[in-house]
Amino acid sequence: MPDLDDIVRRKERLIERSTMQRAAIADAFLELERPIAIADRVLTIVRFFRSHPVLVGAAIAAIMVARRRTSLVGLLARGVSVWRLWRTIGTWAQRFGMDFSGSRRRGNAGHVAS
């Protein structure tokens, strides 16, 4: 059976070890603070654009008018590219537990007899 001195020394070692582990965890969080802040800012911007689709459409229309060289085929190609990119981002976002699909549950919406 360990005597009281052994128990006190073991307790002191455990306290010292936990102090070092807390410092290591704090350092790890400090290293992640900036990337987390950037990701948070990006999500804030995405949420803003999702809640203001007319603003996004107006900005795209303004860019198209300013360029004036865009043909209908080029515009359709860009639209398809943007749509595919959005679908890819949505797939990746779902893997991380976020839903960027923007789709709502339709259920019985639009049915007169409902």
Blockwise average pLDDT, block size 10, the chain, 114 residues: 87 96 92 90 90 85 70 77 84 75 51 50
For residue 58, the 8-state DSSP code is H
For the chain, how many structural domains are there in total? 1
68 lies in some domain? no
25 lies in some domain? yes
Helix-then-strand count for the chain, H and E = 3, 0
18 lies in some domain? yes
97 lies in some domain? no
103 lies in some domain? no
Please give the Cα distance from 81 to 8 (Å, whole number). 67
30 lies in some domain? yes
44 lies in some domain? yes
Domain span including residue 19 = 7-51
The tokens describing 64, both together, are 């198209």
Q: Left if phi > 0, otherwise alpha if psi is -120 to 50, otherwise beta: which for 9?
A: alpha
pLDDT on residue 24: 94
pTM over 0.75: no
Task: Say which amino acid occupies 44.
Answer: T
99 lies in some domain? no
